[in-house]
Structure 1
Amino acid sequence: MGNWILPAVLTGFLMDLCIGDPRWMYHPVCMIGNAITACEKWLRAWFPKTKRGEQMAGGVLVLCIVSGCVLIPGGLLFLAYRLHPAAGFILESCMCWQMLATKSLKTESMKVYERLQAEDVEGARKAVSMIVGRDTAALTEEGITKAAVETVAENTSDGVIAPLLYMMLAGGVGAYFYKAINTMDSMVGYKNEKYKNFGTCAAKLDDLVNYIPARMSAWFMVAAAAVEGHHWKDAIRIYRRDRRNHASPNSAQTEAVMAGALGVQLAGNAWYFGKLYEKPTIGDDKRKIEAEDIRRANQMLYGTAVIAVLVFTMLYIGICL
């Protein structure tokens, strides 16, 4: 199985760039999400509704979901490779493809860009609501654009570079391991009344598994900024200054680079679940953010992804072959 990891990852990456996530295909992340929802319901019924009880329930959720997302794909790959190496390679390539989000992130964020270009602010609000967790009903055109650029920046790490790293380490199993944790964090890792205890374990584990990938993503993005002619020196300056301007230890890493490279200001206060959260800004307010910055952010996304694949491939060949 190990000899096929690099070819499978590279094939999966190319499939993601070319095909993305077809709407007709049931996505494994939906299956993971359904499992999380079902387990949460059962665990909340079984464990006491105390701080300790909810934390224990959240820990059991993490154990169950991560175990399932490692054992099931691992078992399927074992059987496929036993059947024939080609069968294993095809299955592992598809697993890697489905756990990457490069093209889908561009596709969904560019829908926001297209609505803004058409001066359809309400349509842009609806489009951006599909890719961000904040409340979007009252967002201005500037707020919509900022939200889209931020999600491209953050998900360059979460949706592309981090999965690639774990794929290089453990193939399709590594991809599912990472995506299980990341999906749990996106569903239960909130600090609101409902999840502040239940989601603690998932949120902490997500911070841990993203710690190295987020920082690697930031420097890959700096390289992409330099190659693509953006303000790479400002990207480094803003990264060093603002990379901690977020409640998460990882989220501001790529956002800071993106803000510096584009010469705009990101983050700041935002509404979530009807409540205003005060957040520090990232970057200098040199100019007003514009719809064209969404296109530029996607250019950075693709450049960062290609650089990461090249670096990971060279490291894999140097270490494993």
Structure 2
Amino acid sequence: MRSGVSTAVGLLAGFALDRILGDPRRGHPVAGFGMLAAAVETMTYADRRRAGIVHEALLVGAVVGAGVMVRRGGALPMALATWTVLGGRSLERTGEAMVRRLERGDVAGARELLPALCGRDPEVLDADGLARAALESIAENTSDAAVAPLLWGAVAGVPGLLGYRAVNTLDAMIGYRNVRYRRFGWAAARADDIANLLPARVTGLLTAVVAPAVGGRPREVVRIWRRDAGRHPSPNAGVVEASAAGALGIRLGGRTEYRHGIEQRPELGDGPPPAVADLRRAVQLSKLVQYAALAPAVALAVARCRPRRA
């Protein structure tokens, strides 16, 4: 089977496995990589950018190298790698669980669940605050956990899938601007920004396409994206959050409380602040965008096997 076709078949099979099974409950390879990265950090850490660059290159390079070694196996390793890297179904399940708890007034249960979605301090949030935190996280992670892996897999096969997840995981571990990681985590944060530049914008376009299914209008999505995305401190989160705000007709951003302190995030969108009902629509929007992302990913993969003209 030609490489582009086997890549496309592997993407489709891996996506199906993610929809059916979600993330493995035990022994997830991404969790294993996180443990390895934490162990390596004890040897590479220094309060310098150069040390962070070495740390990033060592770990991402090792993962990409492993992907290169197994990619010749055809569609099967591609399918398994896709399933391992995708997290869209688990993201939906967590969002749905959050909706159910908030709808029955179980604020304490929703607070217990929030750390599975984001790093905000749940103890200071009421029901609407929990809904907003979950909604913003679902919008951002639709790109990180689903659209970006599919696109990187389509372009670069198994090495692209594994390399992207390594970059994204390292950013989640050390890509912070606190005292310990301001310098050491700089490379991880920048690498993640670069890896998500195109996927975030594809996510924004797909959000516009499927917006009518959740009561939105494509033109409004594009308008809010163009007007508000640049206000966000992240070049990629601003795109996907502004697009989601436009599709759902709500306003995101504002006072945001983390365990390490308080940030005043720029407001995105023109509508009212999100309520619990909007979180249910956001979960549906995430699901639709994930399915929509399959088309460009498969098209890219198949395009790789077309013979070039002399």
- What is the aligned length? 304
Matched, 1:301 2:286: yes
Native 8 Å contact 1:221 1:257 kept in 2: yes
Give 1:319 shift. 5.1
Q: Counterpart in 2 of 1:217?
A: 203
Q: Counterpart in 2 of 1:287?
A: 272
Q: Counterpart in 1 of 2:302?
A: 317
Aligned ranges for residues 211-250 of structure 1 at < 5 Å?
211-250=197-236
Give 1:226 shift. 3.1
- In structure 1, stretches of 5+ residues that fail to align are 82-87
Give 1:313 shift. 2.0
Q: Counterpart in 1 of 2:57?
A: 63
Matched, 1:72 2:58: no
SS in 1 for 2:122: coil
Q: Counterpart in 1 of 2:103?
A: 117
In angstroms, what is the RMSD of aligned CA positions?
Answer: 1.6
Aligned ranges for residues 12-91 of structure 1 at < 5 Å?
12-23=14-25, 25-44=26-45, 47=46, 49=47, 54-78=48-72, 81=73, 88-91=74-77
Match among 259, 271, 277 for residue 245 of structure 2:
259
Q: For 2:214 and 2:301, locate their aligned partners in 1 and report how far apart those are by CA, in whole Å.
A: 26
Give 1:256 shift. 0.5
SS in 2 for 1:280: strand
Q: Can you list the C-alpha shifts for 1:198-222, whole angstroms capped at 9, x where unaligned?
A: 1001101111111111111100111
Q: For 1:294 and 1:172, locate their aligned partners in 2 and report how far apart those are by CA, in whole Å.
A: 33
SS in 2 for 1:41: helix
2:255 is matched by which residue type in structure 1? N
SS in 1 for 2:148: helix
Native 8 Å contact 1:231 1:263 kept in 2: no
Give 1:269 shift. 2.0
Q: Counterpart in 2 of 1:197?
A: 183
Match among 149, 158, 161 for residue 135 of structure 2:
149
Q: For 2:275 and 2:114, locate their aligned partners in 1 and report how far apart those are by CA, in whole Å.
A: 15
Taking only the aligned residue pairs, the percentage that are identical comes to: 34
Q: For 1:268 and 1:165, locate their aligned partners in 2 and report how far apart those are by CA, in whole Å.
A: 31
User: Of the two structures, which has the highest relative contact order with CA contacts closer than 8 Å and spacing of 6 or more?
Assistant: 2
Q: Can you list the C-alpha shifts for 1:40-71, whole angstroms capped at 9, x where unaligned?
A: 11112xx4x4xxxx211111110111111111
2:247 is matched by which residue type in structure 1? A
Q: Given the two structures, how large is their TM-score scaled by the length of structure 2? A: 0.93
Give 1:318 shift. 4.2
Native 8 Å contact 1:109 1:128 kept in 2: no
Q: For 1:238 and 1:26, locate their aligned partners in 2 and report how far apart those are by CA, in whole Å.
A: 41
Q: For 1:288 and 1:237, locate their aligned partners in 2 and report how far apart those are by CA, in whole Å.
A: 18
Give 1:264 shift. 1.0
Q: Given the two structures, how large is their TM-score scaled by the length of structure 1? A: 0.90
